[in-house]
């Protein structure tokens, strides 16, 4: 695919800090402060990009995606970050590339079916196939090339790349009851986070392709707060920068 500028988003500094630092070190970066966010406008691996931290939650993500599209002329958006594993075989250290996204906490029934976005007649939003394929290939390459480092430094053994549905909601899932409730209600869900489906909806409404890649930081259970914090501080940057750098070298 051909794009004029790629928007790159994450929720937290650990998930994009390396890319922003690399862009600043290379020079030629313009920093714009808008809506209490900083947008870094420049090139990454020869590709024009607008990079920003959305902060946490669906509203924050939707507002940031809209700004990328309308102010910074992003004609495609990629979101990277961490997530909780939902399906039993999705383990900490695995990577999930979204094929589709939906909000697990949206319920306007009985006026509209549960999960359906009112007036859009849909609950699921598809990720762009070309972008998602490129992200999955980058994730596969990262694991193949860095598996020994992941095992030695971070005790992550045999991570896998999954493709499927990611669900989003304004709630940090951190109990067995909440996890099993998600599994029962949405058996196709591989991972849960707090931004992706909102970005996918904004991009759908504006005809902008988007893709979401998530590294699994926790199992969305009672141990999730500790696992999430440890993963975020110790290894999240290694995953995000490793996947993004390989992705940016190949996508155009």
pLDDT at 252 over 90: no
Q: Does the pLDDT value for residue 2 go beyond 80? A: no
How many domains is the chain partitioned into structurally?
A: 1
55, part of any domain:
yes
In a domain, 128, yes or no: yes
The mean pLDDT of the chain is: 95
Q: Is the dihedral of CA 103, 58, 222, 100 positive or negative?
A: positive
Query: Is 218 among the residues known to form the active site?
Result: yes
What does the pLDDT average to over 146-162?
A: 87
Q: How confident is the model at residue 165 (pLDDT cuts 50, 70, 90)?
A: very high
Lowest mean pLDDT among 61-70, 112-121, 151-160, 235-244: 151-160
Q: CB of 123 within 8 A of CB of 113?
A: yes
Specify if 225 maps to a domain.
yes
The pLDDT value recorded for residue 160 is: 95
Residue 203, number of CB atoms within 10 A of its CB: 27
Weakest-pLDDT range from 29-38, 89-98, 153-162, 186-195:
153-162
Section 159-175 average pLDDT:
97
Over the stretch 7-41, which tens digit does the pLDDT of each residue have?
Answer: 999 999 999 999 999 999 988 899 999 999 999 99
Distance of CA 224 to the CA centre of its chain: 18
In a domain, 220, yes or no: yes
* Beta strand pairing call for 37-44 and 189-193: unpaired
Q: Which of 116, 128, 193, 218 is catalytic?
A: 218
pLDDT of residue 1: 60
The reported pLDDT for the residue numbered 148 is: 87
Helix axis angle, 236-250 relative to 13-26, nearest 10°?
A: 50
Instruction: Spell out a b/e string for 211-242, using b for 16 or more CB atoms within 10 Å of the CB, else e.
Output: bbbbbbbbbbbeebeebbeebbeebbbbbbbb
Could you report the per-residue pLDDT of 171-229, keeping only the tens digit for each?
Answer: 999 999 999 999 999 999 999 999 999 999 999 999 999 999 999 999 888 888 778 88
Residue 252 or 158, more confident: 158
The whole-model pTM stands at 0.95
Give the CATH number of the domain where residue 165 resides: 3.40.50.1580
Query: Backbone dihedral region of 81: left (phi > 0), alpha (psi from -120 to 50 degrees) or beta?
Result: left
Q: Which two tokens stand for residue 236?
A: 């999240």
pLDDT of residue 153: 79
Task: Provide the pLDDT for residue 191.
Answer: 98
pLDDT of residue 26: 87
Q: If DSSP states are collapsed to H, E and C, what string results for 100-130?
A: EEEECCCCCCCCCCCCCECCCCECCEECCHH
Q: How far apart are alpha carbons 133 and 98 in whole angstroms?
A: 10
Domain containing 217 equals 6-250
Domain assignment present for residue 20? The answer is yes
The answer as to whether 181 is a domain residue is: yes
Q: What is the pLDDT of residue 232?
A: 86
For residue 1, is it within any domain?
Answer: no
């Amino acid at each position: 695919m051909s794009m004029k500028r790629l928007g790159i988003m994450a929720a937290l500094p650990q998930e994009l800090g390396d890319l922003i630092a690399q862009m600043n070190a290379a020079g030629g970066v313009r920093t714009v402060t808008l809506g209490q966010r900083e947008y870094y406008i420049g090139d990454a691996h020869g590709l024009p990009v607008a990079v920003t931290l959305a902060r946490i939650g669906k509203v924050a993500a939707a507002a940031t995606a809209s700004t990328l599209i309308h102010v910074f002329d992003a004609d495609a958006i990629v979101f990277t970050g961490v997530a909780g594993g939902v399906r039993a075989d999705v383990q900490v250290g695995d990577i999930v590339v979204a094929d589709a996204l939906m909000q697990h906490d949206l319920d306007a029934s009985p006026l509209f079916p549960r999960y359906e976005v009112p007036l859009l007649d849909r609950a699921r939003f598809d990720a762009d196939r070309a972008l998602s394929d490129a992200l999955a290939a980058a994730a596969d390459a990262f694991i193949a090339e860095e598996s020994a480092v992941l095992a030695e430094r971070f005790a992550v053994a045999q991570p896998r790349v999954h493709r499927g549905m990611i669900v989003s909601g304004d709630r940090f899932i951190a109990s067995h009851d909440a996890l099993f409730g998600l599994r029962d209600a949405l058996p196709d869900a591989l991972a849960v986070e707090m931004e992706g489906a909102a970005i996918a909806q904004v991009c759908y409404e504006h005809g902008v392709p988007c893709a979401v890649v998530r590294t699994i930081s926790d199992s969305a259970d009672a141990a999730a707060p500790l696992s999430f914090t440890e993963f975020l501080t110790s290894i999240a940057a290694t995953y995000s920068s490793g996947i993004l750098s390989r992705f940016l070298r190949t996508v155009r």
